[in-house]
Homo-oligomer: A and B are copies of this chain.
Amino acid sequence: MAKIGKLVLLGTGLIGGSFALALKRAGMVDQVVGVGRDPRNLERALELGVIDAASHDAAAAAAGADLILLATPVGQMGALMQTIAPRLAPHCIVTDGGSTKQDVVALFHRHLPGHLKACVPGHPIAGSDLSGAAAARYGLFEGRRVVLTPLQESAPEAIAQLTALWQACGAEVFHMDAAEHDSIFAAVSHVPHLVAFAYMNALLDRPNIDACLEFAATGFRDFSRIAGSHPAMWRDIALANREAVVADLRGNISRMQELVALIEAGDTGQLTEYIERASQARVAWDARRKEP
């Protein structure tokens, strides 16, 4: 597979930075240019060797690029696509690391209509509550999954090359339809985050919040970890995947109302069944997974 000459990161944070580091270690890239709005973050990325050059000008950086990774919150991607459109070399693969895919597919169609052959939307499943270039690390994608949701128009060679690059980062690559992707990730990623935000807000409503936080232990720690995630990123995800997310949140609310009713009725048998169904499924998942 052809080595990448110039990789441009539009957004130089955890995902973009770790992608660059992994490709560098695999010897798959010559030069990495990091674009971003926060000069201190770019400086840090240069110091850490995540990028070789920094720029605040996406259009200038895009000129001569062989691969561009949009690794900002999804809400910024449309404007970035517009900015880079006139400067793209015809062969330059454009991909992204967004957590929602139907909206990014629509952005590619709207803003890069003449470049669709080389556009391949993607989603590396390596979330973290950390962000910024300082969080980037070698091996973030080792053993992780990357889902690509190619466009109808994506050229097989572009899909194959991007697949090979993610594999060089140590990832297992899957291809699926963008709608299927968004339905799955609403259920196992977006809604857990939103439920965790709602839980924290309900907790903060309590008059004895300080005592509560004082005695919060490991159950709280793990359950609420994702509530510390990046607000703008998760706001964008919630809005971008609105339909699937709202349907799933409604399902959760209705299951919680059922639980309240069982507890209030003191229905020991039904309550046991309710908890056992959840517990058995979670234990079985844990036994099955081969996750890092």
Contacts and interface: CB of A to CB of B under 8 A. Distances in A.
Contacts of A216: 188-189, 285, 289
Given A127-B219, A202-B251, A204-B278, 13 more contacts: A126-B218, A185-B215, A187-B206, A188-B203, A197-B279, A200-B281, A201-B274, A216-B285, A219-B226, A222-B222, A227-B281, A239-B266, A239-B271
A158 interface: no
24 contacts: A126-B217, A180-B208, A185-B215, A187-B206, A187-B212, A188-B203, A188-B216, A195-B256, A198-B278, A200-B281, A204-B277, A221-B289, A222-B223, A223-B226, A227-B279, A228-B286, A230-B279, A235-B268, A235-B272, A238-B263, A238-B271, A246-B263, A253-B256, A256-B256
Of the listed residues A128, A196, A250, the one surrounded by the most CB atoms of chain B closer than 10 A to its CB is A196
B231 A279 contact: yes
Interface residues of A, number: 92
Report how many copies the assembly holds: 2
Nearest to A144: B217
Given A196-B278, A228-B283, A255 B201 contact: yes
Contacts of A289: 216, 221
Contact of A222 (B184, B205, B217, B225): B225
